Structure formats: C-alpha cells, structure tokens
Structure 1
C-alpha cells in the first residue's frame, strides 16, 4: 500500500516506519543551529476539596496535577483534576500565580484571569464529574523572567486540603461499640479489557488483520508507545516547513500549542477515571517543538533561542531537521552527534506542506499534512486529518482494504469521522495491552 495516497494513508507491511519514511540521501546540507531553550516539565500533586452537588453528608475531595512544557517567554500548561468525592455537575479550578504569567488560550475549558488570579471552568460538554472521574484542561500562556509553579489550588471555591471530608460535621451522639468484625477482603481487580460487547468481534478481527499485514508487528520498536516510554512521558517535535510563507513568533507558538492539544486527545484514550488504563503510566504527555527546518532563515521572524533552526537541509524536496538529532535515525537513543545532545533531539516531525490538499501521511517518523489546512485549523477542537495520521504513529492500521465495523465511522477509517471515537479508543488500548509487557507494565 502506497504511503503517498491522499487522505490518510499508511501502514505497509512491517510496521509504520515504512510510511513515507525520510530517505537518507547524499544531498549536501547546511544547518544553522540555535541553542534550544531549557525545557521545564513541572508536576505538582495536591489534593483539594470539591463542593459537592450531592447529599448533605456526602464526602468531597479531589486530586490535581499541574504540568508545564516551557520555552523562552511562553509555555503550555495542563491541569488534571480527579474528583474523589460525590458527583458534581460543574467545576471551576482556581489558582494564583506568583509571577507575571498571562493566559492567552485554553482548551477543554474556558478561562478568566484577573491580575494573577486564574479560573478554569468546564466547557459546555465536560462539566459532570462522577466519583473518581477526571478531566484534563490545557492552556497557553506567556511570562517573562521566571515561571514559578502555583502552590495552592481550589475547586468550586473550596481550598485544597489533601483529603476527602464530609461536607457537614458528623453526628456526635455516642453509640454503642460494635463487636469486632473481620475486615472485608480487597476486591480483585477485573480484567481491564472490557470494550463494549458490539466491539469485541471487530477488535479481534482488526488485531488479526494487523498480525497478517505487519511483517514485524511484535518486534518493531519505534511505535509512538516506544517513543513516549523512552522519553519518560514527553515528546519532542521538529517542524518541516515546506512553504515559502513566513512564520511569526505568535504562529510558531500557536502551532506548538495546537500540536499539544491534538496529541493529548490520543493520550486521553489511554486514561480512565483520571488514572492510566491497564498500566499506562502518563495522564498527560507534554509536547515540545524543539526545532524548525526551512529553506531560508529569513522566513522565521524571531531572534530568540527557543528552538533549533535547520536551514536548506533538503530531503524529499523539503527542508528536513538534522538526522543526528532525530529518533527515526537513532532509535538506540544515541544522540552523541546532535549539537546540544539528547536535550535537542526530536522524536517526530510535523511536516507541513504547501498545496498538499486534503491528504496526509503518518508513521513512526511523524505526520505530514497540508500547511494551510493546519494553520487555518489552529483554533479547531479536532483536526481530524492530523488525528488520523497520529494514529498511524501509535501503530494503528488503515482501512482501505476492509472494514471491521460496517456502517460506522471512526477516525482511522479515513474520511468517516471528524474526531476520535470509542472504537478508535479501544483499538489504541488493544495495541497497548499487546505491547505493555515490553515496558514491564
């Protein structure tokens, strides 16, 4: 199957690396490299109270994590909340910054900011949180100087306490001491592989199809699962800018923020109730664009050192990021030839091509889609062609030759869905459950 087909296109036998893989040619290349800004990935774990919408004596509480993917003068943040108490119908998370951080955009939420005080409120579709359910909201922000992590949060107006408590004091009337009882046994966790019944057959057929069409399904070691695990829960990208258009600092940062938001949509499928599903270890995976490849340095309208810049290193007729820094070329993790070392490596390429139209390609090397399609969709909730191509990077198949779910659309069946569906989720989970033993999970 050709990987150059238009509209999502994909796995030839042997795993996804064969999909429009960058070729190692002999073209002489020149590279201008700028030191990358130090990346920050901060994690703050806390518990805080939730104002309960349930009965008067319902317990309330929650857990939150705050992560940051930082570059010079800006960052992408994510706040993940797990409701430990009674179900709530709406949520609002508040915190105060110690510095001059200023939000400019959010997703999976709406935001307001007054001075240093920030509030993230649920979107119209994700306000309800059952007990032990979780939600992740993300945002873009700017700062100057330092970017300290907030130290206190509140949920629905109640300050953090780190414990679940009754919303009203317990009764103080003395009661008789009950007789000793035998502790109940800890319940055995059921099999986490529990897709909807109507998907069981199609999922089994899909996995068999992958076994039949991938020549090294189990031996291949550069699925996106492998990349995330090797990087301990983060992913670096380099942008291949196959266009004569200029790129402002604002557009550069928007491209990264949108990439983070779309990438997290796949990661969310590997989480359940605020926890990793079946041993998956990461609730969020920070995405950082560490480099840009262009024909002419003057196309990039910034002078800061936020990213490495590769100039006129042409492969497949397009600028390419340096091979010594690319995981596709160094799957053993040896980046000794990369200026700046492993901190400057990139796992994937986002290849944005002028005039490509409604098509794309994807694999373990990254994703390729139309430049204008991506730029015009920066504020879009679901960029479905990009989501499809990211699915191939995780290892998911194409469905040009058969259909395991006749009459239903899903994002990996090109053109049939505009967002990740329940069937896509269970295909991704099926891949994880077959691979996770290689990571000791």
Structure 2
C-alpha cells in the first residue's frame, strides 16, 4: 500500500505552507486543499481531498482540478457529486455539506484508475478561486455569534427522550462506562481512521470493480455517522475528526478463485473459518488484541483490522457490535449505489454503543435509524444519541 500527501500552495516550503490573500469588494475568499492517495494498486487508486475555507462563509461550493496524466480517471466518489470532462474533474457539494463556515473543512473522496503514472494535481480551485493556502483578509461583515458555552443543546422536543435513552442504557448495559472497545476507542487508538476486513461469506465471485465499490460504499456510509459529530464542518464538543478514512486492509474467503483480481491492494485470507464463515487472521484483529499488540500480524500494525464487514449470502436483517457489522451479501451488493444502506447504518450505530429499541420507543411515531424498520436514514434523534455517547465518554481520551 502506498500513501502520499500533497499540500497544494503557491510554492512548497519545508513546512508545507504557503501565503496568499484573495479578496473582493464584497467577500473575502481563500482556501487550502490537502490531496492524498490513501491506497494504490496496479490499475487503480483511492484519493482523499480535504478543502478548508479560509474566507467568508460559503453556501454552496464547487471544487475543480485537472489530472496531469490523460489516463487518470475518476470512477466513483463520495461526499460530493463527481464528474470528469477530459482531464478536468469537478466535485459539487452534496445536499448536506454545502455550507462552509470560516476555517471549516469538508472532505471528499473517490476511486479512480491510472496507468503509466499517477501524479498529483498541481492546483485546485474552489468556486473559481485558486486555493493558494492561507487565510484571506476577513470582510467587514458582522462576526458570527459566539458559540454557546454548553454544547449539549438538542432540540427541546428531544431532550426528554434522550435523557430516558441514556438512563435506560445505564440500567441495562452491564459495563457501560468500563467497556473499552467501542468504535470511539478504535478511532482514537488509530488517530481518526478505521481498518476493515471483509468476510465474504458467499460462493459468489467478486471482480476488482466490485471490490472497489464495496470499499467506496462502506466509506460513504461510515462517514454519514461521523458527519453527525460536526457543526458547520467543526467537531462538536471536542470531537477531533472531520473525516474518518475507512481502509479495507483484507478480504477473507473460502476459495481464492472467488476473488477475480491479482493485485496486492489488500491482504487475502483463504479458508480461515471461524463461526462457519471466512475470517481475516486473528493475530491482526483488534477484537482479539485490544491491547494493540499486533506483533503476530503479517505486515504488522498497518495490516491490522478494527472491524469486520461480514457479508453473508441469504442473511436477513443484520447484526452489529464492537467487532463490526453483519448483513446480507445480496442486500449489500444490490445497494452499492444507494444513498443510504439503512441496515448497515443501523449496525454501525451499534458499533458506537447505540442501543436497539425493539421493546420501547422514546419518540412514539417519529421513527429513527436505531429503531429497526422505522427509518431509512440517520435522523436528528440518532445524531443526538450519538453525541450523548461521546459527551459521556470523551473524558477517557483527555478531550
């Protein structure tokens, strides 16, 4: 696996910093872009772009850049609408991330193809303004109101139900505060990334294109939960991560011939059967090594996995926990382009400690993703349940 990080600026300094001021009579503009190749193999790669607004507030954005090589092509992406004409790539905000406050950032990602060479783009533009890398002079518009001193400010009609949910968890979880392998713990241990193994519990074959789509869909759905921890691109209540890269480091399968690729972009585990299903090696799994000791993992800690995406043929419904998520392989593969893979979203919620609601409903008639079958996307109530977990656990991380 190769990883590259490129800071785009007017010139490349030892500290990767640049200086520029762009302004108009009506609004100050300025932006910074961080471009990285987070994974690369013989014919494809995964790119990540973080854009930071260094000017006045933006409501609606378009990012443009040009690939230096004619063989570099975007095949699919997330967190933005993607298109490519010749060498020029355009990413337009999604419906939920179009507003960028001053100093706020947004992360977008894509998978692409290449051959011969895979150089980084030389420059980027946000809404037509070249991103040169440092803060612009602020305009004379009124300053934003100071943030509230108490970050716990859910909608008033949700405050009571949220209190009841937390009280219920305190009563029913056997080790609510002492458990140390929530998704929160995994993210902090990895400095804001999460590694996955795909347990391919099916006899179907998987092409390289399908593999990449499996990865991209997982990234897109995972980020939907992470975005609930942001307000205008900034972390809520000390949340330190704007974008959480999801890295699929391994696939587990019964028969290597089922995987129709020959590149070494992921580790492949063959016929390592646990729970009557293929599993990536236990020496590499956080579930089995919560002390972080991966000395027995081939390739070391970089090849460890925190969670498993367990895709089982004929499986109905789902399951989730600190070990990962299990859903039907047919369901997942038929929803690779879906905006919301709602069963997966529900199960990721369990990884972060959120409860099931089969026997009671704190918001009768409203529906939310953690009440199975009542919603197909993350709701405001889900968001504040997630935030409630964070505010109760964050002190363990010194934040």
TM above 0.5, yes or no, is yes
Within the alignment, does 1:426 sit opposite 2:395 as a pair?
A: no
CA 1:197/1:51 → structure 2, altered by over 3 Å: closer, same or farther? farther
Within the alignment, does 1:164 sit opposite 2:136 as a pair?
A: yes
CA 1:197/1:75 → structure 2, altered by over 3 Å: closer, same or farther? farther
Taking only aligned residues, the RMSD between alpha carbons, in angstroms, comes to 2.6
**3-state SS of the aligned residue for 2:345?**
helix
Q: CA deviation at 1:208?
A: 1.0
Aligned to 2:353: 395
Q: In structure 2, what is the Cα distance between the partners aligned to 1:366 and 1:148? A: 35
CA 1:125/1:284 → structure 2, altered by over 3 Å: closer, same or farther? closer
Q: In structure 2, what is the Cα distance between the partners aligned to 1:133 and 1:314? A: 45
- Please tell me whether the aligned partners of residues 68 and 286 of structure 1 are also in contact (alpha carbons under 8 angstroms): no
**3-state SS of the aligned residue for 2:5?**
coil
Q: In structure 1, what is the Cα distance between the partners aligned to 2:23 and 2:381? A: 34
- Please tell me whether the aligned partners of residues 105 and 242 of structure 2 are also in contact (alpha carbons under 8 angstroms): no
CA 1:128/1:276 → structure 2, altered by over 3 Å: closer, same or farther? closer
Q: Report the number of matched residues.
A: 383
Higher relative contact order (CA 8 A, sep 6+): 1
Within the alignment, does 1:318 sit opposite 2:277 as a pair?
A: yes
Q: Quick check: 146-155 or 203-212, which moved more?
A: 146-155
Describe the superposition over 1:274-313 as per-residue Cα deviations: whole angstroms up to 9, x where unpaired: 1211111111111111111111111111111111111111
**3-state SS of the aligned residue for 1:293?**
strand
Within the alignment, does 1:138 sit opposite 2:101 as a pair?
A: no
Aligned to 1:406: 364
Q: Quick check: 372-381 or 129-138, which moved more?
A: 129-138
Q: CA deviation at 1:93?
A: 0.6
Q: In structure 2, what is the Cα distance between the partners aligned to 1:124 and 1:428? A: 21
Q: In structure 2, what is the Cα distance between the partners aligned to 1:218 and 1:157? A: 49
Aligned to 1:93: 63
> Where in structure 2 are the equivalents of 1:60-99 lying within 5 Å?
60-72=29-41, 73-99=43-69
Within the alignment, does 1:416 sit opposite 2:374 as a pair?
A: yes
Q: Quick check: 56-65 or 304-313, which moved more?
A: 56-65
Q: In structure 2, what is the Cα distance between the partners aligned to 1:304 and 1:240? A: 19
Aligned to 2:292: 333
CA 1:417/1:41 → structure 2, altered by over 3 Å: closer, same or farther? farther
Aligned to 1:437: 395
**3-state SS of the aligned residue for 1:228?**
helix
Describe the superposition over 1:10-64 as per-residue Cα deviations: whole angstroms up to 9, x where unpaired: xxxxxxxxxxxxxxxxxxxxxxxxxxxx252636477988998xxx523233444
Q: In structure 1, what is the Cα distance between the partners aligned to 2:149 and 2:8? A: 28
From 245, 254, 258, give the equivalent of 1:299: 258
Q: From the CA coordinates, give the structure whose radius of gyration is larger.
A: 1
Aligned to 1:107: 78
Within the alignment, does 1:270 sit opposite 2:229 as a pair?
A: yes
Q: Gapped runs of 5+ residues in structure 1?
A: 1-37, 171-185
CA 1:299/1:407 → structure 2, altered by over 3 Å: closer, same or farther? same
**3-state SS of the aligned residue for 1:310?**
strand
Give the TM-score, by structure 1 length. 0.80
- Please tell me whether the aligned partners of residues 8 and 34 of structure 2 are also in contact (alpha carbons under 8 angstroms): yes
Describe the superposition over 1:238-275 as per-residue Cα deviations: whole angstroms up to 9, x where unpaired: 11111111111111111011111111111111111112
Q: Quick check: 86-95 or 190-199, which moved more?
A: 86-95
- Please tell me whether the aligned partners of residues 133 and 272 of structure 1 are also in contact (alpha carbons under 8 angstroms): no
CA 1:166/1:435 → structure 2, altered by over 3 Å: closer, same or farther? closer
**3-state SS of the aligned residue for 2:302?**
helix
**3-state SS of the aligned residue for 1:416?**
coil
Q: In structure 1, what is the Cα distance between the partners aligned to 2:23 and 2:66? A: 19
Q: In structure 1, what is the Cα distance between the partners aligned to 2:127 and 2:120? A: 20
**3-state SS of the aligned residue for 1:103?**
strand
Q: In structure 2, what is the Cα distance between the partners aligned to 1:298 and 1:154? A: 44
